[in-house]
Amino acid sequence: MNYSIKNQAYTFIFIAAMLWFGLYQTLEPLSHFLVSALPLEPGGHAYDALQFFLYDTPKVLLLLTGVVMVMGMVNSYFTAERTRALLAGRHEGVGNIMAALLGIVTPFCSCSAVPLFIGFVQAGVPLGVTFSFLISAPMVNEIALTLLFALFGWKIAALYLVLGLTIAIVSGYIIGRLKMEAHLEDWVRNMAHVQATVGADELTLPDRIQAGFASVREIVGKVWPYVLAGIAIGAGIHGYVPVNYMAGLMGKEAWWSVPVSVLIGVPLYSNAAGIIPIVEALLAKGASLGTVLAFMMSVIALSLPEMVILRKVLKPRLIATFIGIVSVGIMLVGYVFNAVV
Amino acid sequence: MKNIKVLGTGCANCKTTMKLIQSVADEKGIGINLEKIEEIQDIMSYGVISTPGVVVDGKVVHAGGVPGRDKIAGWL
């Protein structure tokens, strides 16, 4: 009985994956077919722009759905409680690397940053390791990576992944070295130590598939308008010659563009999907990639609402150190990108 | 009457969870005492580290994310 349900689940995953790949393969010919059916001159601006839009929209949405589905299932293995148990008592160094990596796969919402923070510290996760997790979790996430991959290619997505993890690991390590435990609010330090335990995981494979569907409904249902807006902006300039009026302001030559972008980005708050249309528009207007990515990272990783909540557990000096170190890290990333790409 | 508490710092998911529990209870015609816990110290006292969390009659039954309707029906 149990065995056959499990088999059904595997069969379902297999068929869904085949369907997904089949659909993905037909997108490009289909978009050509659709556009050629319209009374437009092949090779013209409108033709190119429309073909780009008709190809990119389903492509990005399909990729996003696939990735969110898989990550929804993966997330069901990595609950916050389990991640905490994995990190409790780890030493700095290895602990920071593990925390940053776990930040990718552990489901995280900025609204649970504080309970999570306290829960980690209380269970004996070192402060610096906790910060590595707290920096990586919102910044390096599957939505940002998928959208970067779909719109700008795998190299940019991979660079974002590696540099985002590096910022999380190094910043957390430095905060740990600074020994700032005294700058936690007193009531946090006075809390009783708890043992990090994990409840028995009785989820079955069908449950995890359910969890995958739930996150598709929740995430794709929420972000698709932003994705659409981003692609429309991209398509709008695709057939046309880009105007370079941002080049002077946010181009490679302007050295101050990276710090200014981070300065603007920190108080702003948006999720990865919401920022993509802006990224697309800035790049189209000649802003350089490093500057735009630094802007994107600072918007996602550091936000005013999160700092206001974190203030309840951290004293001002620790918050300032946290913002300072992460901002500097993001700026370095911006300069590295501008120099390499 | 069941005492149900939703633990959360006031994010969208916590509000959704509140509404969902109320609607499932109304649907089944079960009277519940629904309460929202927003103070961080109180949330921590339940040992929940990922919000929203749900407490039914003093026992934590759920943490992290919006619970499904079936799951809620199970608690009631």
Enclosing domain of residue A6 = 2-75+204-238
Q: Is the pLDDT of residue B43 over 90?
A: no
Contacts of B41 in chain A (CB under 8 A): 187
Q: What is the pLDDT of residue A201?
A: 61
Q: How far is CA A327 from the centre of its chain?
A: 17
Report the residue of chain A nearest B60, measured CA to CA: A199
B2-7 sheet: strands from edge to edge: B32-37, B2-7, B53-56, B59-63
Residues A36 and A97 in one domain: no
Name the β-bridge partners of A68: none
Q: Is the pLDDT of residue B52 over 90?
A: no
Separation of alpha carbons A330 and A326, rounded Å: 6
Residue B26: what residue type? Answer: D
Taking only the tens place, the pLDDT of each residue in A116-143 is 888 888 888 999 999 999 989 888 888 8
Q: What is the pLDDT of residue A130?
A: 93
Q: Residues of chain A whose pLDDT is less than 50?
A: 1, 241
Report the residue of chain B nearest A218, measured CA to CA: B66
Residue A297 burial by Cβ neighbours in a 10 Å radius (0-12, 13-18, 19+): buried
Residues A249 and A128 in one domain: yes
Residues A110 and A178 in one domain: yes
Q: What is the pLDDT of residue A133?
A: 92
Name the β-bridge partners of B53: B7, B63
Q: What is the pLDDT of residue A32?
A: 82
Taking only the tens place, the pLDDT of each residue in A152-173 is 888 888 988 999 999 999 999 9
Residue with tokens 């519940």: B32
Among A93, A95, A94, A97, which Cα is nearest to A120's? A95
Q: What is the pLDDT of residue A245?
A: 53
ipTM here: 0.77
Residue A80: what residue type? Answer: A
Cβ <8 Å between A79 and B68:
no
End of a domain among A219, A238, A257?
A238
Which residue among A114, A194, A214 sits closest to B40, beta carbon to beta carbon? A114
Q: How far is B11 from chain A (nearest CA, A)?
A: 6
Residues A111 and A229 in one domain: no
Report whether B68 contacts B31 (CB < 8 A).
Answer: no
Q: What is the pLDDT of residue A3?
A: 66
Cβ <8 Å between B50 and A107:
yes
Would you tell me which CATH number, out of the four given (3.30.2310.20, 3.90.1150.10, 3.40.30.10, 1.20.1370.20), belongs to the domain B2-75? 3.40.30.10
Whether A120 has its CB under 8 Å from any CB of chain B: the answer is yes
Residues A6 and A140 in one domain: no
Q: What is the pLDDT of residue A2?
A: 60
Residues A181 and A46 in one domain: no
Q: What is the pLDDT of residue A127?
A: 92
Separation of alpha carbons B4 and B76, rounded Å: 10
Q: What is the pLDDT of residue A214?
A: 83
Q: What is the pLDDT of residue B8?
A: 83
Mutate to test the interface with A, among B16, B49, B66, B69 (most CBs of A within 10 A): B49
Mutate to test the interface with A, among B43, B50, B54 (most CBs of A within 10 A): B50
Residues A86 and A222 in one domain: no
CB count within 10 Å of CB A44 equals: 11
Residue with tokens 């170190």: A325
Q: How far is B4 from chain A (nearest CA, A)?
A: 20
Mutate to test the interface with B, among A79, A87, A102, A111 (most CBs of B within 10 A): A111
Residues A119 and A228 in one domain: no
Q: What is the pLDDT of residue A48?
A: 78
Contacts of A120 in chain B (CB under 8 A): 49
Q: What is the pLDDT of residue A73?
A: 87
Among A52, A85, A226, which Cα is nearest to A146's? A226
> What angle is formed at CA A149 by the lines to CA A146 and CA A153, rounded to 5 degrees?
175
Separation of alpha carbons A321 and A178, rounded Å: 10
Report whether B53 contacts B63 (CB < 8 A).
Answer: yes
Report the residue of chain B nearest A119, measured CA to CA: B49
Structure tokens at A224: 């698709």
Among A126, A125, A123, which Cα is nearest to A174's? A126
* Domain range summary for chain B, segments of one domain joined by +: 2-75
